[in-house]
Amino acid sequence: MSAPKKINPRLKPNNDTGFGNNASNYGGRFINRDGSFNLRREGISFIDRISFFQKMQTLPSWKFGLFVVMVFFIMNVLFSTAYLIAGMDELQGIYAKTNWGRIKEIFYFSCQTFTTVGYGRINPTDDPTNIIASLEALVGFLSFAVVTGLIYGRFSKPRPYLAFSDQALVAPYKGGTALMFRFATYKDHHTLTNVDIKVNIALRVEENGEASYQFYDLVLERSHIDNFPMNWTVVHPIDENSPIYGFSCDDVTNADAELYVLVVGFDEVYSSPVLQRTSYTYHEMKFGEKFVPMYRESEDGKTTILEMHKLNETRPVPLPVPENQN
């Protein structure tokens, strides 16, 4: 990797980002696109490290549903095995004649007991099977209470519902250039108010012959809006006060640049503050591109249409020729 481009020494780094600056100790990006930190902890047990509630709250819906079904199936297989060990003859009302048929009926009986449905055709007749059935009913009752709490937590958890553009662009801006990206809310009625955004950039720099990361706050054209019903193109003018002033695409690559974005707003539906993080690495920064408008007037002229499918749509534009810099 080539030596990083020199940064204006008058700019003061931001040392309060929470990230270290040792370039040799970092692997990959600081922040994943989904806002999670690109970090794995070692030296502590899995039990101490994992948070079951947080994991269940952040799993994708299909994985959460699959997890619930698998737990339900596994628990009933275990209890069915316990009934088989106690003895098939201790369960009254089984009609099947084959062993496989009897095993299936015991499994279905277990499911009915676990869910406290209890149709009544099959019932235990001795102490071991009664104890197993009683324990299963208790476990099932507690399990459904836990699942109900998790489902409620997933539905009620405040979320910003923000969609960010896949790339950040360097495009012409007021006679110069600017670094920009955009995002929008994609849920109806989840309009944010009192929205603030903060953008930092991490750059690999040379200090006394050693590479390290420095973090700089980017001055934005606008960092606050009162209402956010549409899309917002965030613009950082690349002027003398920018840490990437005079940077080319190769310079951004050599500096291992990464944008860190933090958006905070108030959601009226949840009546609660919400936040979203994301990042853009140098791989996701394009020079000489500009976003196309993503909203238009409706045919009857009475409504504004926000075209979410155009969030990532760009067109090439020539960049102004940079002036000679000292």
- State residue 326's pLDDT score: 42
Amino acid at 22: N
- State residue 26's pLDDT score: 66
Alpha helices in 218-295 (DSSP H): 249-254
- State residue 14's pLDDT score: 75
pLDDT, averaged per 10 consecutive residues of the chain (326 residues), comes to: 64 75 66 81 78 85 94 96 90 88 92 87 89 94 93 87 94 93 89 93 80 88 93 94 90 90 92 93 93 90 90 93 56
SS3 assignment, position 123: strand
Alpha carbon distance 31, 40 (integer Å)? 12
265: exposed, middle or buried (C-beta count within 10 Å: 0-12, 13-18, 19+)?
A: buried
Question: Where are the chain's structural domains?
Answer: 23-39+159-316, 49-156
Is CATH 2.60.40.1400 the classification given to domain 23-39+159-316?
A: yes
- State residue 159's pLDDT score: 86
Q: Which residues pair with 202 in a beta bridge?
A: 215, 258
Do 171 and 288 form a contact (C-beta atoms < 8 A)? yes
Which residue in 30, 33, 55 sits closest to 154, CA to CA? 55
Contacts of 291 (CB under 8 A, 6+ apart): 165, 169, 171, 180, 182, 233, 313, 314
Written as six digits, the tokens of 286 are: 């394009």
- State residue 323's pLDDT score: 61
CATH class of 49-156: mainly alpha
Do 177 and 319 form a contact (C-beta atoms < 8 A)? yes
- State residue 137's pLDDT score: 93
Contacts of 237 (CB under 8 A, 6+ apart): 173, 174, 176, 178, 219, 221
- State residue 285's pLDDT score: 93
- State residue 84's pLDDT score: 92
